[in-house]
Amino acid sequence: MRRTPARQAGARPEAAYGIEFDGRELPALPGQSIAAVLWAQNILAWRTTRSGGRPRGAFCGIGVCFDCLATVNGRPNQRTCLLPAQPGDTVTTQEGHGRADLVV
């Protein structure tokens, strides 16, 4: 018998639903953050830095470092480690400051 935290707690997770990441459908469970959904699919980077285009993903996991920013449902600069995934969310990799459409 395999021991898991869910089994130990007697948890019964609700059914999975889908979110979209860069055009790819990913399964999500109720209560998962968007970062957790991406991690579960072995996606470790979903942002590039303004200077140099270096990949970034979740680092601190508590919303302090801002490395986990992504564009969610058309809104740039969303902290995916704090944002619960919702059915039908559309998440896209964010390049730089997430405002490529604006003249700066």
Pairing of strands 47-48, 94-95: parallel
Instruction: Calculate mean pLDDT across residues 18-36.
Output: 96
C-alpha to C-alpha distance for 16 and 22, rounded to whole angstroms: 19
Q: Which of 3-17, 23-37, 61-75 has the lowest mean pLDDT?
A: 3-17
Instruction: Calculate mean pLDDT across residues 8-24.
Output: 87
| Reported pTM | 0.80
CATH of domain 15-95: 3.10.20.440
CB atoms within 10 A of CB 96: 15
Domain regions of the chain by residue span: 15-95
Judge residue 38's burial from the number of C-beta atoms within 10 Å of its C-beta, 0-12 exposed, 13-18 middle, 19 or more buried: buried
